[in-house]
Amino acid sequence: MPQVEELISPQALAARVKELAAQIRRDYQGRSLLVVGVLKGAFVFTADLVRALDGLDVQVDFIAVSSYGAATETSGTVRILKDLDMPVEGRHVLLVEDILDTGLTLRYLLDYLSRQRPASLRVCVLLDKPSRRKVEVPVDYVGFAIPDRFIVGYGIDWAEQYRHLPYVGALREEEGADRE
């Protein structure tokens, strides 16, 4: 198993989630919000964020997409593996993603959700790798900007491993391949 170097501590994650939630509460005060988490990588972040949105009328749904298959480098082709269970039309939607990297997956999801005519559509990402961007996408809430490293932990995996780590880490350079 590759070794992991801690980049963002559990304490820093918890503090930033609270800060993001405070911003989101201010922005959606008095409105109902549908939080859409992108599986599998954003499930831990989505859960923590939703718990921190106390005082808001919040519903949660999930969508699963694939752009990697078994590879560690994105194919550029996005497929929906699990669609939403709730309607989006006329709702205020917050799309929650683990990593904004090339922007291809997020662009696909924004286009897909926009076609369903939400009242509003905003994006919250835990991690942003700006150096890898191929497509610019609007992001309203960003947890952390990170270097171009292969990230694991806090719900994010390498070969379905490491999701359970309570921190965000990077596979050691000599062992990890770039994925995002």
> Is the CB of residue 149 less than 8 Å from the CB of residue 116?
no
Residue 133 has pLDDT above 50, yes or no: yes
- Computed over every residue of the chain, the mean pLDDT equals 91
Residue 89 has pLDDT above 80, yes or no: yes
What are the boundaries of each domain within the chain? 4-66+75-171
Q: What are 166's two structure tokens? A: 């309570």
> Is the CB of residue 170 less than 8 Å from the CB of residue 5?
yes
- The CATH architecture annotation of domain 4-66+75-171 reads 3-Layer(aba) Sandwich (3.40)
- Sequence-distant (6+) residues with CB within 8 A of 11 are none
Q: Catalytic pick from 48, 98, 101, 128?
A: 101
**pTM: predicted TM-score of the whole model, two decimal places:** 0.90
CA geometry: angle at 153 spanning 40 and 34, to 5°?
40
Residue 85 has pLDDT above 80, yes or no: yes
For 16-30, 51-65, 66-80, 164-178, which range has the lowest pLDDT when averaged over its residues? Answer: 66-80
Walk across the sheet containing 151-152 and list its strands: 4-8, 168-171, 151-152
Q: What is the pLDDT of residue 175?
A: 44
Would you call 148 a catalytic residue per the annotation? no
For 48-61, the pLDDT digits (tens) are 999 999 999 999 99
> Is the CB of residue 63 less than 8 Å from the CB of residue 49?
no
